[in-house]
Structure 1
């Protein structure tokens, strides 16, 4: 199942004109398929799935292909959402996705028993520090459980934030993925990014 999902997600188009201020890096299909598969094993796809900062829809479409009952993809960038809609038409998942434009750190949504899947900005750009903290805060208010991708070395921060918000990190694993050159300040054609993925129970 995971391999078949990864193959489908390989067809998800990434950002056509990525914005550095939003740290728009595409989530690799392999990583998205692994996270969605793990969520399925824990029955976390049996409820509404929210993809906060969906970009061009990788996690949202993964959940839709895995037959989550309802999927919402939220992003502030209208251009990225336009590509996400095209991706949905191309992949034609059994579950349709509700694409919503809005600030993922102040989501225009109400939910209390949702699963959040997200690859938030790492906060590496000046003026965007602690961006992942704001995304986690939103997840803590919307979700029963969340899965999120963070920069390597984030475990102490994520565990502390979760505990302060009444949550608990139940699973964590490292991930590596290749990022193609997409911004002018990148000095190589590709770079391997070290990351960590966390499952947090907010119940």
Structure 2
């Protein structure tokens, strides 16, 4: 198995959003975070020879990370066609031997019937924008419907919410870790050129 750092290097070529939409909270997932999440999933036996679905895939960072770890199939789902076009270009740059199916659809109503052993990976909207509060709840609900296990990135301080949601929907949080990453200035309301934020990643096994 390639190392986590090697995976991060491979994902370094993945381009972000050309015209990010604030309403969709479109930020490029840092390669280091994607590598950490996918490497952890692989160590748990949740990637190789499994179907992996990236909900709200954006330009494909998590989907392509999974594709580099010998899954059976990978599907990236996003409602916005522009980042999906970039994701296809990123797929060619990464050069994975596992192709990715890119699907334009609402990730919270994903038109998928994947195998029972499917793994979901996702960096959903944190719900930071007004009117978009708790946006990650709908993504978790989709994961509960289609996945045996999911890995998701959430805003700092989400543990109580994630554990409660999982418990109410037949899931169990088995792993959790904090991560810090740099968020560049990309919207008019951002005051600083960049800032560091803390996020939390959860592994949930669904009944």
TM over 0.5: yes
How far 1:126 moved relative to its partner?
Answer: 1.3
**In structure 2, distance between residues paired with 1:185 and 1:110:** 39
Listed as ranges, the gaps of 5+ residues in structure 2 are none
Contact kept? 1:113, 1:142, Cα under 8 Å: no
**In structure 1, distance between residues paired with 2:60 and 2:197:** 20
TM-score w.r.t. length of structure 1:
0.99
Could you say which residue in structure 1 is the equivalent of 2:4? Answer: 2
Counterpart among 23, 27, 30 of residue 28 in structure 1? 30
| Aligned residues between the structures | 203
* TM alignment of 1:111-190, pairs within 5 A: 111=114, 112-190=116-194
**In structure 2, distance between residues paired with 1:68 and 1:36:** 11
- Give the alignment's Cα RMSD to 1 decimal: 0.7
How far 1:67 moved relative to its partner?
Answer: 1.4
**In structure 1, distance between residues paired with 2:28 and 2:204:** 22
Contact kept? 1:14, 1:56, Cα under 8 Å: yes
Could you say which residue in structure 2 is the equivalent of 1:106? Answer: 109
**In structure 2, distance between residues paired with 1:96 and 1:146:** 21
SS of the residue 2:164 aligns to: helix
Matching of residue 41 in structure 1 with residue 35 in structure 2: no
After superposition, the C-alpha distances for 1:30-59 in whole angstroms (9 at most, x for unaligned) are 010011000110100131000000000000
How far 1:113 moved relative to its partner?
Answer: 2.3
**In structure 2, distance between residues paired with 1:16 and 1:65:** 24
**In structure 2, distance between residues paired with 1:97 and 1:193:** 30
How far 1:100 moved relative to its partner?
Answer: 0.3
Matching of residue 192 in structure 1 with residue 196 in structure 2: yes
Question: Which of structure 1's runs of 4+ aligned residues deviate more than 3 A?
Answer: none
TM-score w.r.t. length of structure 2:
0.97
**In structure 2, distance between residues paired with 1:3 and 1:78:** 30
